[in-house]
Structure 1
Amino acid sequence: MTKKWISSALMAVPMFLSHAVSASQPQLAQPVGGNEPLTIERLYASPALAGSSPRGLKLSPDGKRVTYLAGRAEDQHFYDLWQMEVATGKQSLLLDADKLKSGELSDEEKARRERQRIYGQGIMEYFWADDSQALLIPASGVLYYYSLSDNKVTPLPVGEGFTTDAKLSPKGHYVSFVRDQNLYVFDLRTQKLTAMTTDGGGAIKNGMAEFVAQEEMDRMTGYWWAPDESAIAFTRIDESGVELVTRNEIYADGIKLTEQRYPYAGKNNVAIALGVVTLANKQVRWVDLGEDKDIYLPRVKWLPDSLQLSFQWQSRDQHRLDLRILDLRSQDAPMTMIREESDAWVNLNNDLYFLKKSPQMLWASERDGFNHLYLFDQQGRQLRQLTKGDWAVDELVHVDEQEGWVYFTGRKASVVEQHLFRVPLKGGKIEQLSKRSGMHAPVFADNQAIYLDYFNSLAQPPQISLHDEQGKRLAWVEQNQVDKSHPLYPYFGQWQLPEFGQIKAEDGQALQYRLFKPTQFDATKRYPVVVRVYGGPHAQLVVNSWSEHDYFTQYLLQQGFIVFQLDNRGSAHRGTKFEQVIYKHLGEAEVNDQKAGVDYLRSLSYVDGKNIAIYGHSYGGYMALMSLFKAPDYFKAAISGAPVTDWSLYDSHYTERYLSHPATNAEGYEASSVLPYVKGYQSGLLMYHGMADDNVLFENSTRVYKALQDEGKLFQMIDYPGSKHSMRGEKVRTHLYRSLADFLDRQLKH
């Protein structure tokens, strides 16, 4: 410790305290369990540390069964289908995945699952029939129909070839799917298969979501059933204008050359059309999308009468979003009912709901600076604003028209927690239904006001419970208590909970942080710090939430590190003023905020201010590079995983949303790239990347490798053959985290 450092740290203290603001601490029970130390080899081995953590939660339409996918004890990534009877609470295996065919996925389905962040084997998805008597289960490209009345599972005779994006029609009479880039319908009553489109192939794809729709718009499908099953709306995309890239996917035993139509920022997107095909005669009506063809189509939704179709039209610059409705009984062009506009960008959501009992609709908008719910009539007139305030609605989850309630999740109680609320459809007082401190993700039944609460917190791995419409718990589906039989119990006695707080950014806005102190913390000692960062939009790390990404954090705490996380400006759930600071220039406000976090850390007597590292993946990897290169006096070392390093290499919809078009913001693209700051790098860098990453292309890292090598700069890199962006697999993750722990130990402790 030098006198110079002590002097600068002391000078920083009053500056920090003068702009500190208060923050509430979530109410968490201290974990109780054994004191066995965590090993990296145990972090992602089976059985899962989180215990039984089902996914794919659903309530049957009649509300009588809870169904979910549960991994096996010996292989947490192999899923079977389970059920619980609501009336009795009895749980049982509904369908053993071994009864279904297992096989290799198509390249299209592999890519689709990567976009969905779905990883595993066995039963990965399923769909209830409207009468609650049957299920559709796609598995390895084969479609299975499971009849609950006779407990019989049957492969459907839909012909040869891999099927993807399978669905049951709204009334359960048909199964639809995409094969060979065309849309098909199979009649369950007549067993007849019909091709609804026939021109798919090559650059033409029918009923399929394009790359940016899947990756950036949260739209994984390209077709939608009319409620009465009379027609299907579908997209037809033409990729011929999109740049064809030959991408190398590097595996341990060879290189796979993959041709991909990748829509780089500033380059051509797909040409998209929207059609409506009738089941009766297969005639297609093409929807007039307007004169501007360089647009996005992020959402399509039928109105309850099956006579009107809505779609959301988004300008390429994303400054404008229209809700348009087409009346299929008329030859008129679609009418614009609602328009959202912004000088930066308009965020997308899934919160459009058309009421069945009246010609009205619910719509979510950030028009007052925070995402809130509004009621409109179907002529686009605003009737009332249902929620309001300096907090954000997360999601509209259920509408009970009979009783007049709108259920939603949001941050009204705390910005670091997600709770369930309801508000009268006619307007009025908002009621909070969830009580426990943490994250609540409800799943409602279609025809009853009961819901499943998928709950978790920093002190509780995911639990699932059944509740009535007022929030009262009716039964546990999976209590997942960390008792002596739980996989986590041997380690839970050393589990560390963080301190939450706030500091102020340079523009006065509050920045949320959480700080994890080491196991066996001694306030008289000084500890090195690992700053774990994401930093990009549409994400939030500083939450009271259980996350498997925190397992490595707990390991680091047991090795004597402090772990610090701060959500810089640009992060989610804080309103447009907080988020849109980054518009047209990435990596500036975000880095400044992380520097403010380090200033705070250096004001703490137990922090070793000379030994601070920053670590992140994806946008976090970008942030790690920018922070180390631009602020080497703040960060001694950095770990950058799968980073975007040059935004001209990333896709159009994401990049142009935040940086605008390269033709109009060339200076912003240059300033937001990592490459101009390579000369500022001194030492202490580890980079890693999956060599088959089709999201953040491997070229992002190799460009930095070359630039650093040309400058004669020493650094380390670890590249993983065959790995995609998510770095999946127990062996890959074990090697990765062993490498990161070794690097941090050498950089910050020696």
Structure 2
Amino acid sequence: MKNTHKFLLVMGSAVILSACAATQSTNGTVDVVAPPSASQPEPTIITPVVDSNAMQDDIAITLEQIMADPDWLGRQPEAPSWSLNGEHLVYERKRVGSHLRDFYLASPGVSGNGEKVALAQLHQVDRSQQVSNANNDLTAWVFDSNIFLYDHSSGVLRQLTKDSDYPRNLTFLSDERLAYQVGNSFIAIDPSNGMREELVKWQYASKPQAVRPPADFIAQEQQELIEYVALQRRQRQEQADYDAQLQAQNNGITAAPFYLTEGHRNVQVALSPNAQYVIVVSTEDTPSRSESDIMPNYIQENGRIAAEEVRRRVSDAKPITHKLWLLDLAQNTVSELSLNQLPGYNDDVLAAVKRENAAARGEDYQVNRLPRAIGILQSWYGHSAIQWHTSGEHVAIMLEAWDNKDRWIVTVDFDQQRLVTQHRLSDEAWINYAFNQFGWLPESPSLYYLSEQSGYSHLYVKPVDGKERALTQGRFEVDDITISRDEQWAYFKANVKHPGIYEIYRAPLSGGEIQALTDLNGMTDYSLSPDHTTLLLTHSTLTMPPELYTSVISDDAMTQPVKITSTVSDEFLSMPWVAPSIVPVESSHSDAPIYSRVYLPTNVDESEPRRAVIFNHGAGYLQNAHMGWSGYFREFMFHSMLVQQGYVVMDMDYRASKGYGRDWRTAIYRQMGTPETQDLVDGVEWLVANANVDRNRVGTYGGSYGGFMTFMALFTEPDLFQAGAALRPVSDWAHYNHPYTSNILNTPDVDPIAYRRSSPIYFAEGLSKPLLMNAPMIDDNVFFVDVVRLVQRLIELEKENFETAIYPVEPHGFVQPSSWLDEYRRIYKLFEQHL
């Protein structure tokens, strides 16, 4: 028998494993093995254990069902959190046949989906910007643009505002007042009496003067010759003097504004808890969208074409520098915090890249040490770049260079009005847009932060005047930090046991061994209860969507979580879904394996070589070869359908994927598409050697970044695949957005070599196998023009074996079930015809 694969394939619904990992023994059973060392995880094949009673092999999986409205799967819990008093858990759930969500309340430790929250009580559970005071006896939040306050000791809930002003940056002050930002001002409310005070306001304008010096000869003569003009000037000055005296002698009836650089706008603002300082970050007020590009939207209610504005391309982006202002409310002074205090602020970090590109043009390049464009790090995950200590005596700010090569965490010396660098992270490729969470310990003036400086995201603690300490270390990724109020523990999630298994852990802030709090073997997220005694878990497995669990935290031993919700439909459970194995594919270009999901058919003739499909996940920096429920749930079901018909399916976490450390992430720097295609070659070789696959019957497909990879594979390795489908694909990176692309390829004006090396449109002449392109037309992420330009290029190259399907009403992520069905019918037809 040609096939020699050695891992267990099972079908049906996965059951939670009781061990860290599993491998197959010689007798075909699953052996429980000890977890690999945290610092040296072993490349183990992970094979899920499933419930054989759930198998329904006689049920045919159809495209019509799996591409239908996903309500039929069961509408899983979303956005879980805790109730105000911590006695219940709260989650959202989609309504059947509607885009609306309802809130539900359930009890920890009690199985059941709970009760739907009535609309009249929605303000108690739909809580944005939630904050608590230092004693945790008051909690405030925003609901429907208004502020609500809950007193934990009395159980009284009050509404503090009722207006159309949307409050932002909600925070408790040291004196128990509640402050919030409206426009360019901060307001404080005293909950005890409702007194509102405008603490500070600022304007981006020149400070007004009652009278100004004459601007020229004519103005000077006018003021001296015309008594009426002189009178008006005297009256204005008298009024200004009177207003200033009134303000000074009445303890400031209203806050006098601070005046900042004209023509700027807010980027981020933060008030200190002691109400003594405000940090204002501003930048030049220029349009964030393109001034020339539009996106035609052809399907409108009025029958006309709408011209929608779209974001700028990376080729049009200009360097942006932020200004940092320190507003001293007590002294009524404003100081600009100079960025020149940062180490490396004027390093020519791209000198080697510029020299290479200059040489390609036949020119020389000389190092240029002009100040770099620097600003606050604007997190993709909502973390604030300005963090005040609860005392108000310290503030930390996270900054990044516009060239993507440096990240700084700084504090402010209030006496000297200057920045003090606490931590610098440099990367020759690019600073990751993930793993940038940071903040202060509750009591001591010490920072905690995530950093990839070791090659993996780990947690560090650093006193303001002390040395950095690593709380975690090893070949795994740490994320989602929660610091306990008693300053004893740091809670986090990490993939310690295996790159594709995420559990919840905690580490003592004083140092020591980390403690595992869960052992669920899948994908697990958490929310810590208000009293820090219980974990609210969101857990999923390969074949089961996420459900909610609760687990009591114990110092002695790990407690068994209790499953709370059961929202998956019986119809979904009855289907013969295939549970893929997580396989470490040997790499020809890296010492680390390429972890991949592999779906294998059963009950097929082993003597006949199989056909196969490799799926390419999107986003580039995304992990899909994990043990949890995939965001690509339709693709998971499609792969089960293909397997049912005898296909083998592989889903690779190629280089650039998340979860495997900094080196795996940055392997694509300045060469997008090359390492990934090399990994696809290794994937095909593995399939041929281990899964009885005919190398001449392999196809590939993927969307977004996965569509880009389909292009690169078909164009640069024309014999690797016999057909490919590129969905919402990138064909030219110079047309994609700035934040994502410039990380990896720098900018086109600086590094055109990288763009020509990485953009499929430059390699289109290599197409020789059938190509399907599925393109949504109102995609404001990857523009429709990417496909249009490539189609024109293929026409001019006189290529014959390509076709294009357009979707007039779809954005980047399809919405309409009819579009999903049409798209996957075409993909399936492509594989059936050519594999």
TM-score with structure 1 setting the length: 0.80
Alignment correspondent of 1:213? none
Residue type of the alignment partner of 2:481 = V
1:707 alignment partner, SS class: helix
Alignment correspondent of 1:570? 656
Q: 1:410 aligns with which of 475, 494, 505?
A: 494
Counterparts in 2 of 1:49-128, with a 5 A limit? 49-60=72-83, 62-75=85-98, 77-86=99-108, 92-93=114-115, 95-96=117-118, 126-128=128-130
Counterparts in 2 of 1:553-702, with a 5 A limit? 553-604=639-690, 606-702=692-788
1:418 alignment partner, SS class: strand
Residue type of the alignment partner of 2:412 = L
Alignment correspondent of 1:248? 295
Q: Distance in 2 between matches of 1:650 and 1:409?
A: 32
Alignment correspondent of 2:284? 238
Instruction: Decide whether the 8 Å contact of 1:25 with 1:501 is kept in 2.
Output: no
Q: Distance in 1 between matches of 2:816 and 2:274?
A: 43
Q: CA deviation at 1:440?
A: 1.2
Alignment correspondent of 2:216? none
Residue type of the alignment partner of 1:80 = D
Q: Distance in 2 between matches of 1:79 and 1:670?
A: 45
Give CA deviations for 1:254-274 in whole Å, capped at 9, x if unaligned: 432234562524730444334
Unaligned 5+ residue runs, structure 1? 1-5, 7-20, 102-122, 209-221
- Alignment size in residue pairs: 678
Instruction: Decide whether the 8 Å contact of 1:392 with 1:574 is kept in 2.
Output: yes
The range that moved more, 36-45 or 368-377, is: 36-45
Change (3 A) 1:325 1:652: same
Residue type of the alignment partner of 2:318 = N
Counterparts in 2 of 1:318-333, with a 5 A limit? 318-327=404-413, 329-333=414-418
Q: Distance in 1 between matches of 2:101 and 2:597?
A: 34
Alignment correspondent of 2:608? 525
Q: CA deviation at 1:330?
A: 2.6
Q: Distance in 2 between matches of 1:70 and 1:155?
A: 29
Change (3 A) 1:174 1:710: farther
Residue type of the alignment partner of 1:169 = T
Q: CA deviation at 1:624?
A: 0.7
Instruction: Decide whether the 8 Å contact of 1:266 with 1:661 is kept in 2.
Output: no
Instruction: Decide whether the 8 Å contact of 1:61 with 1:132 is kept in 2.
Output: no
Residue type of the alignment partner of 1:64 = E
Instruction: Decide whether the 8 Å contact of 1:397 with 1:443 is kept in 2.
Output: no
Q: 1:486 aligns with which of 545, 562, 570?
A: 570
1:461 alignment partner, SS class: coil
Percent sequence identity is 22
Change (3 A) 1:261 1:733: closer
Check if 1:169 corresponds to 2:171. yes
Q: Distance in 2 between matches of 1:643 and 1:632?
A: 18
Alignment correspondent of 2:814? 727
Q: Distance in 2 between matches of 1:59 and 1:193?
A: 32
Q: CA deviation at 1:336?
A: 0.6
Q: CA deviation at 1:325?
A: 0.9
Alignment correspondent of 1:216? none
Q: CA deviation at 1:167?
A: 5.9
Instruction: Decide whether the 8 Å contact of 1:249 with 1:257 is kept in 2.
Output: yes
Check if 1:159 corresponds to 2:176. no
Q: CA deviation at 1:666?
A: 2.1
Q: CA deviation at 1:184?
A: 7.4
The range that moved more, 32-41 or 370-379, is: 32-41
Instruction: Decide whether the 8 Å contact of 1:225 with 1:233 is kept in 2.
Output: yes
Q: CA deviation at 1:659?
A: 1.7
Residue type of the alignment partner of 1:43 = I
1:488 alignment partner, SS class: helix
1:369 alignment partner, SS class: coil
Check if 1:445 corresponds to 2:503. no
Q: Distance in 1 between matches of 2:485 and 2:155?
A: 35
Change (3 A) 1:145 1:442: same
Check if 1:498 corresponds to 2:519. no
1:727 alignment partner, SS class: coil
Give CA deviations for 1:428-450 in whole Å, capped at 9, x if unaligned: 22222211211111111344242
Alignment correspondent of 1:460? 544
Change (3 A) 1:736 1:310: same
Residue type of the alignment partner of 1:78 = L
Alignment correspondent of 2:510? 426
Q: CA deviation at 1:453?
A: 1.1
Residue type of the alignment partner of 2:406 = R
Change (3 A) 1:79 1:339: same
Instruction: Decide whether the 8 Å contact of 1:241 with 1:268 is kept in 2.
Output: no
Q: Distance in 2 between matches of 1:521 and 1:176?
A: 65
Unaligned 5+ residue runs, structure 2? 3-41, 206-261, 346-370, 378-384
Instruction: Decide whether the 8 Å contact of 2:387 with 2:439 is kept in 1.
Output: no
Residue type of the alignment partner of 1:23 = T
Alignment correspondent of 1:477? 564
Counterparts in 2 of 1:293-312, with a 5 A limit? 294-298=373-377, 299-312=385-398
Give CA deviations for 1:496-525 in whole Å, capped at 9, x if unaligned: 433523212324332112210236544333
2:322 alignment partner, SS class: strand
Structure (1 or 2) with the larger CA radius of gyration? 2
Alignment correspondent of 1:336? 421
Q: Distance in 1 between matches of 2:265 and 2:787?
A: 34
Instruction: Decide whether the 8 Å contact of 1:29 with 1:459 is kept in 2.
Output: no
2:823 alignment partner, SS class: helix
Change (3 A) 1:91 1:643: closer
Change (3 A) 1:463 1:175: farther
2:574 alignment partner, SS class: helix
Q: Distance in 1 between matches of 2:155 and 2:816?
A: 38
Residue type of the alignment partner of 2:391 = D
Q: Distance in 2 between matches of 1:622 and 1:737?
A: 18
- Over the aligned positions, Cα root-mean-square deviation in angstroms equals 3.7
Q: CA deviation at 1:672?
A: 0.8
1:609 alignment partner, SS class: strand
Q: 1:394 aligns with which of 478, 481, 494?
A: 478
Alignment correspondent of 2:829? 742
Instruction: Decide whether the 8 Å contact of 2:94 with 2:100 is kept in 1.
Output: yes
Q: Distance in 2 between matches of 1:178 and 1:38?
A: 54
Check if 1:514 corresponds to 2:535. no
Check if 1:436 corresponds to 2:525. no
Instruction: Decide whether the 8 Å contact of 2:109 with 2:562 is kept in 1.
Output: no
Change (3 A) 1:502 1:649: same
Q: Distance in 2 between matches of 1:401 and 1:138?
A: 26
Q: Distance in 1 between matches of 2:195 and 2:609?
A: 72
Q: Distance in 1 between matches of 2:326 and 2:103?
A: 34
Alignment correspondent of 1:119? none
Q: Distance in 2 between matches of 1:664 and 1:52?
A: 47
Change (3 A) 1:52 1:666: closer
Alignment correspondent of 1:118? none
1:733 alignment partner, SS class: helix
Change (3 A) 1:622 1:152: same
Q: Distance in 1 between matches of 2:325 and 2:147?
A: 28
